[in-house]
Amino acid sequence: MPEILVLELDTLADGETRKFEFEREGERLEGFVIRYQGELFAYANRCPHWNVDLDGMSDGRLFSQLSQRIFCSNHGALFVPTTGVCEFGPCRGLRLERFNWIAEGTGVRVTIPDP
């Protein structure tokens, strides 16, 4: 399983994200780390409804301060930051792919599981 080092996460404010790239089965994909309520969570940047980047139609934002949710700019789905579960939108009940990580310096080492 590949591992990706995502650095300088100590500077992320609550609700901010840091994206990273990884490769899976020959395809370049993105993931992101989000700080929410003081904790870090790592997810694939893929909507379970359409299998497209969550921020594909936005300016790269992945979190709504107003709703306190990760959002998909394609269809307005809202995901709980701590679980990745969709609670509103066409993929309700589905979840974002969550990645495990371990702290390393000011960042984390994210483990990308095989599909």
pLDDT tens for the 115 residues of the chain, in order: 899 999 999 999 999 999 999 999 999 999 999 999 999 999 999 999 988 999 987 778 999 999 999 999 998 999 999 999 999 999 999 999 999 999 999 999 999 998 8
List CB contacts of 27: < 8 A, sequence separation 6 or more: none
Q: 19 with 30: CB under 8 angstroms? A: yes
pLDDT of residue 59: 78
pLDDT of residue 16: 97
CA distance 92 to 43: 17
Is the whole model's pTM more than 0.75, yes or no? Answer: yes
Q: What kind and span of H or E run contains 11?
A: none
